[in-house]
């Protein structure tokens, strides 16, 4: 099996997923290489137990829809009830 190119992904069945990414495109290898290099170098030596999200802003859009929307929007995102409860409680504590 070969990996699809960015152009194939944008025109294929990935198109609907790409539409949810604020940058409106898939990431390129060079954009992923920087964070990988950082985490695998001495510069990232103190980063422990952290998650570095490299997704073109998709997670933030998903969280915004999740927090601003109702149960229907949260269900459409496919979040489990446990995850939904955690996120709502966390942001409730952080935002007061």
pTM score, whole prediction? 0.54
Range of the domain at 65: 27-95
| Domain-located, residue 10 | no
- Give buried/exposed letters for 33-70 (b at 16+ CB in 10 A, else e): eeeeeeeeeeeeeeeeeeeeeeebeeeeebeeebeeee
Own/partner long-range contacts of 7-16 (Cβ < 8 Å, ≥24 apart): none
**Has residue 74 been placed in a domain?**
yes
Position 21 in a domain: no
Position 20 scores a pLDDT of 76
Q: How many domains does the chain contain in total? A: 1
At residue 16 the predicted structure's pLDDT band, cuts being 50, 70 and 90, is confident
Alpha-carbon radius of gyration of the chain: 17
In a domain, 14, yes or no: no
Higher pLDDT, 24 or 7: 24
User: What's the rounded mean pLDDT across residues 51-58?
Assistant: 84
């Amino acid at each position: 099996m070969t990996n699809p190119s960015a152009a194939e992904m944008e025109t294929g069945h990935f198109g609907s997923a790409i539409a949810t990414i604020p940058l409106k495109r898939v990431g390129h290898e060079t954009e992923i290489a920087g964070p990988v290099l950082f985490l695998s170098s001495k510069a990232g030596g103190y980063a422990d137990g952290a998650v570095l999200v490299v997704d073109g802003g998709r997670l933030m859009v998903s969280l915004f829809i999740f927090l601003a929307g109702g149960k229907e929007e949260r269900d459409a995102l496919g979040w489990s009830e446990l995850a939904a409860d955690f996120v709502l409680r966390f942001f409730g504590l952080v935002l007061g």
